[in-house]
Amino acid sequence: MSYYPILTAPYCSGKTTLYNFSPNDWESVDKCDQVVSLTYIKDGLWHSKTIEELKYQSYKVVNHSDIVDLIPDGALALLSLSKGELPDTSKELPILSCNHTNVPNYRATLGLESASTEASYQGEIDPFPPQASMLTFSPFLQFGEDIENYVLLMNLEKSPENKEVEVEVYDAHSKELMKVQSAFSNQINIISLDDVGFDEQSLPIVVCRGMASIPLYFSSYKRGKILSLEHTHPPASLVVHGNRFGAQKQLKDYWLSQLKK
């Protein structure tokens, strides 16, 4: 039941492209038209609006400018494909009746567009459990004149609230706390990594003990003239087979105990 957010980042506008065709020809899906919906939080409820019916075998590009007047300022804009219309309002994030595959998952193109160029990745987001946490090693900082680096923490939870949590940024080698910043659930939280004192030898670790999220790393040259965008993997991806999530737990327990505020 994946949602497809419209991204936001400095100097850029989000652009998300949805596809109503399966990513493979051997996992069974319904070959049907689907409803494109926009979902967002307003007044403590999830609100959903139908954007259009998307024909089977076609695509839909949604720019941030297309929906900005439909949602409250700063709200996370979530797009979705489903076989029926979503409820106008709900107390929990609507469960989508939609096609699903595993090899690979259905994805959208999540893009950021500046006046000069664009960057994108193939992605989706599913709601995280509210008690989850996040730990990410972040070797994506780029250095040089006119280069800016940000981590964009993208969270989605079922409850229609923007709970406040703390994000801690550490240096892996010294284990020194370099920065603390507030972040919110059901948001794309933009955190600068340039004011922290990292250099080319620093391996940043970004930790959030109160919320899981997808960490996107975004770099910009000359206020959007060139862009770079990629996400990191969850720690479980450092191993394969066996008890992968045991390895993830071990890694998170180790680092969360080592990194003290």
Euclidean distance between CA atoms 183 and 54, whole angstroms: 34
DSSP string, 195-216: SS---TT--EEEEETT---EEE
- Our finding on whether 106 is near another protein (CB under 8 A) is yes
Question: Is residue 97 within 8 Å of residue 83, measured between CB atoms?
Answer: yes
Closest to 8 (Cα-Cα) out of 65, 83, 93? 65
Question: Is residue 190 within 8 Å of residue 220, measured between CB atoms?
Answer: no
- Our finding on whether 227 is near another protein (CB under 8 A) is yes
Q: Which two tokens stand for residue 259?
A: 């990194």
Interface residues for another protein in 73-102 (CB under 8 A)? none
| Residue from the set 69, 201, 260, 261 that interacts with another protein by CB under 8 A | 201
Number of residues that bind another protein (CB under 8 A): 67
Interface residues for another protein in 44-63 (CB under 8 A)? 57-59, 61
Of 81-89, 91-99, 178-186, 217-225, the window that binds another protein (rule: CB under 8 A) is: 217-225
Q: How far is CA 35 from CA 53, 101, 196, 232, in A?
A: 5, 18, 44, 31
- Our finding on whether 223 is near another protein (CB under 8 A) is no
Per DSSP bridges, beta strands 204-208 and 164-171 are antiparallel
**How far apart are CB 105 and another protein at their closest, in Å?**
10
The nearer residue to another protein, 241 or 260, going by C-beta atoms, is 241
- Our finding on whether 65 is near another protein (CB under 8 A) is no
The nearer residue to another protein, 3 or 140, going by C-beta atoms, is 140
- Our finding on whether 26 is near another protein (CB under 8 A) is yes
Of 13-21, 71-79, 84-92, 186-194, the window that binds another protein (rule: CB under 8 A) is: 13-21
Q: If 0-12 CB within 10 Å is exposed, 13-18 middle and 19+ buried, where does residue 43 land?
A: exposed
Euclidean distance between CA atoms 68 and 34, whole angstroms: 23
- Our finding on whether 131 is near another protein (CB under 8 A) is no
- Our finding on whether 217 is near another protein (CB under 8 A) is yes
Which residues would be at the binding site for another protein (CB under 8 A)?
Answer: 17, 19, 21-28, 57-59, 61, 103-104, 106-109, 116-122, 137, 139-140, 142, 144-147, 172-173, 200-203, 217, 219-221, 226-233, 237-244, 246-247, 250-251, 254-255
